[in-house]
Structures are given as C-alpha cells and as structure tokens.
Amino acid sequence: MPPATPLSTKIAHITAIEAGAEKAFIKADTHLEQALANTARHGLPAIQVSALQGQLLGLQARFVNAQTVLEVGALGGYSTICLAKTGARVTSIEIDAKHRDVALENLRAAGVAEPDMILGDAHEVLPALVREGRVFDMVFIDADWGTQAEYFDWAVKLTRRNGCIFIDNVVQEIITCHGGSVGEGTLIERIGKAQNVTATLVPKISGTEGVVDNASIDGFVIATVN
C-alpha cells in the first residue's frame, strides 16, 4: 500500500485543480469583472460567490429552465448578474441599503433592465411574497447565518414543483452557529423532516493557491420541491 498523502498536499492539489478549472471554464466577462471592481471600490466585503459557483448558479437556473429567480442576499449583485445572464427575471432581497445601491449600479452597468431589488428584511419580505401568491422557478439563499432553516421553509412555499432551491454556506453555518452538530434547528435537520423536498449536500474544501494552511471548509445544499 502506498504511503498516505499528507492533508496539506491534498489541499494544495484541490486548490490547484480548482484554479485550473476556473482558468479553463470561466470565460472573460466584462460585466462581472466590473461588478467585482465596483463592489471593492465601495468597500463591500469580498464574500460573493466564486466565479465557478456563479457559473454553477447559472447552470442550475438553465437546468430547471428558470424564468423567475428569487435571491435572498444580493451583496454587490455578482450572483444576481450570473443568474440574470441566463435570461431569468431575478427578484433580489437585500437588507443593507448600501449593498442594494451598489448592486443596482452593477446590474444596470451589466445591462439588466429594471432590476427588481427589494430593500428589506427577508424575515418580513419572504412571508409577504407568500401572501402575494408569488412562485419562483428557483430560489437562491446566500444570507445571514443562523436563519437558513427559516428561510428554507419560506423557500419551499415560494418554489414551484420541480423547481430548485440553492442554499450557500450550509456547512459553515452549522459549524459556526451549531458547533458542527446537525441536530435540531439546523437546516439539514429541517430538510430531513420535509416530506415534499428532495435534497443533497455538496461539501467543499478550498484554499489559497500556494498557502496550504489556509483551507476553507464549506458546502451548499441543492433541493427540489416534489
């Protein structure tokens, strides 16, 4: 049996492969590049989805032929642009007025006509959308940790049958807010009890190229409403 590969070496391999995939798969996109630059210029945190994950969001929207997408948490609008480029009409909820304004700048610069950006607390906006009878083909949740299970409940009510629910940072939320336990109150526990949902968890380990001791552990949930 060959000797076990050290964890640091595995992380270095993963990081290099991910960087290679980004170089190979991600085509130059002036709108997204300008959005990142403008977001940084306004001092917003650089916590948007990665280029590969943004492309995954767009693919997922295409897989379900999404005409309407609901996004919870816009930040600077990077993921919003990724979703809008599929041709879907994106409704985005953002609680921070500065983030909303920067996102609108970026969306308009990207040619997104009449961006549907709702300034407000998702705890209030989501139930209001349910009361209005709104239904979406896809819901993307990338918002405050500690409330993913609650947002998931509303997402199920707002997603059409066979539509997609995509929830980011699930692993980090469980580690940070629940001590790494998938017990009561976690998103995973909530999904497990939902009778009308099929879901999977996609864990993710990544790092900074050349810095093997700076690994990031996270993962996302993709679900559909049966």
d(CA 217, CA 96) in angstroms, rounded, equals 27
CATH entry 3.40.190.10 includes domain 7-225: no
User: Which amino acid, one-letter code, is at 112?
Assistant: V
What pLDDT is stored for residue 205 in this prediction? 81
According to the model, what pLDDT value does residue 127 have? Answer: 98
The pLDDT value recorded for residue 208 is 59
Q: List C-alpha distances in Å: 7 to 10, 21, 93, 203, 221.
A: 5, 21, 39, 16, 25
| Residue 93 one-letter amino acid | I
CB proximity list for 121: less than 8 A, separation 6 or greater: 95
pLDDT computed for residue 6 by the predictor? 82
Q: Give, for all 226 residues of the chain, the pLDDT tens digit.
A: 667 888 778 888 888 898 899 999 999 999 999 999 999 999 999 999 999 999 999 999 999 999 999 999 999 999 999 999 999 999 999 999 999 999 999 999 999 877 899 999 999 999 999 999 999 999 999 988 888 989 999 999 999 999 999 999 999 888 988 888 888 888 999 999 999 999 999 998 876 555 555 668 889 999 999 9
One-letter amino acid at 37 equals A
Rg of the Cα atoms in the chain? 18
Q: Using an 8 Å Cβ cutoff, are 73 and 61 in contact?
A: no
Tokens for 130, please give them.
């349910």
